[in-house]
Amino acid sequence: MAKFVIEGGYRLSGEITPAGAKNEALQVICATLLSEGEIEISNVPDILDVNNLIQLLINLGVSVRKISKDTYIFCASNVNLNYIETEEFAKSCTMLRGSVMLIGPLLARFGKAIIPQPGGDKIGRRRLDTHFHGLIELGAEFNYDAEGSLYRVGTKNGLTGKYMLLEEASVTGTANIVMAATLAKGTTTIYNAACEPYVQQLCKMLVKMGAKISGIGSNLLTIEGVDKLNGCTHRLLPDMIEVGSFIGMAAMTKSEITIKNVNMPDLGIIPSAFKKIGVDMEIVGDDIVVHGSTPMVIDKFIDGGILTISDAPWPGLTPDLLSVFLVVAVMAEGSVLIHQKMFESRLFFVDKLIDMGAQIILCDPHRATVIGLGKGGKLRGAKMSSPDIRAGIALLIAALSAEGTSTISNIDQIDRGYEQIDERLKALGARISRVG
């Protein structure tokens, strides 16, 4: 099992460019199943989750050509639908959370879909109810095979558009329903739709393919079904989670780092949230320059209360970055409450930080109070294991700032979401090596 060995306590410097957005990639790659035409997607990140999904599509019979380092052409003109009945397909899906977004395209175009309980991070309950309730509203029949842990959906007479109010603004749920609705008869209206940039990008790509979607960027989407979709060309946004991770890394290691081509309009409140915990940065064109040598002081609320950083549906703060905010706050002066509302197991990695010398009170599965070490505070190296992608990057950030040597095992979890992270950090001066 591979691990990272990190010699911490060194400042980094230079420029780094975020890879393409993982969460967007998983959605738009699944959407290629909706058309027989060729779809060219660029800025695709070279990470485990995306590569596994691409291989899954290849196994389904989708033609995939890699024409450059980060650009692929997909053509789903000869899909082998029998493959979804195989054990191999089920096994592949259980290793990948993004596989759940195959349901909508398969159902819309072929009239049936089978999916096992998808894999992904073990960060608490991740319900699929929104996905299936939405598809049932469109006319799908749903069955759950408890013995094989398989979800089956199908339709005899095709899907029909309908008004629906989602019980939660699920990103992947919205994506699945939108993809299914593009080929449904009539008009589908989705209220309380997720409006994250990933969903916006998916909708924009579908429009380029010939779909009729209005309300993009809002929580009220209207989709007029069409008979077929065509090919198109699409480029992924830079990954905002990588951008936030690099901001945190620069601040934590007291480094001067420039993050290039971040696509500022789609970062939402991420930069301002980092400023609240004392990170000094400036926007130069479409780049972010982090002045990590500036001492960090955590803001207070106007009435003097302790600051709270919490996740919320877009345009609120993405839950994928709360682990990074937590670890950065460890080295700041002041206190902050980190409130992870969405997942009940995502904060358990703080035990590792406490072992490194952090002052953190885990209040309950959703909340942790960080009492910053402030100027002169230091963490010490430790042996750790990455429980999920985002906790993994947070532990890596902590290790880079700590005195002494740290080891992080189970780094496949980090590789699932961050492209060649060790090599990119070495280019900034990090002392990190991959062992095993």
Do 338 and 357 have their domain in common?
Answer: yes
The pLDDT value recorded for residue 128 is 81
Dist. CA 422–CA 430, nearest whole Å:
8
- Angle between helix axes 22-31 and 197-208 (nearest 10 degrees) is 30
Do 230 and 337 have their domain in common?
Answer: no
Do 340 and 245 have their domain in common?
Answer: yes
Q: 420, 45 in Cβ contact below 8 A?
A: no
Dist. CA 292–CA 428, nearest whole Å:
14
Look at residues 76, 105, 99 and name the one whose alpha carbon lies nearest to residue 150.
99
Domain boundary among the residues 189, 214, 235 is at 235
Tokens of 234: 């699409």
Do 13 and 30 have their domain in common?
Answer: no
Dist. CA 249–CA 247, nearest whole Å:
5
Do 341 and 425 have their domain in common?
Answer: yes
- Domain residues for the domain of 61 are 22-235
Contacts of residue 126, Cβ cutoff 8 Å, sequence gap at least 6: 97, 120, 343
Do 151 and 50 have their domain in common?
Answer: yes
Do 10 and 28 have their domain in common?
Answer: no
Do 56 and 185 have their domain in common?
Answer: yes
Domain boundary among the residues 212, 235, 258 is at 235
Alpha carbon dihedral 199, 202, 207, 208, in 10-degree steps, equals: 150
| Phi and psi torsions of 230, nearest 5° | -110, -175
Among 46, 70, 121, 415, the active-site one is 121
The pLDDT value recorded for residue 122 is 44
pLDDT along the chain (436 residues), means of 10: 93 97 96 98 95 95 97 97 92 84 95 78 59 93 81 91 95 96 98 97 98 98 97 98 97 97 96 97 97 96 95 94 96 96 83 96 94 92 91 96 96 91 97 93
Q: Output the domain CATH number for residue 77.
A: 3.65.10.10
Do 354 and 205 have their domain in common?
Answer: no
Alpha carbon dihedral 112, 114, 115, 116, in 10-degree steps, equals: 160
Q: Tell me the CA distances in angstroms from 58 to 34, 182, 318, one per residue in order.
A: 15, 23, 31
Do 273 and 414 have their domain in common?
Answer: yes
Domain boundary among the residues 235, 265, 295 is at 235
Domain total for the chain? 2
121 in active site: yes
Do 244 and 228 have their domain in common?
Answer: no
Residue recorded with tokens 């992270």: 421
Dist. CA 169–CA 173, nearest whole Å:
8
Do 354 and 222 have their domain in common?
Answer: no
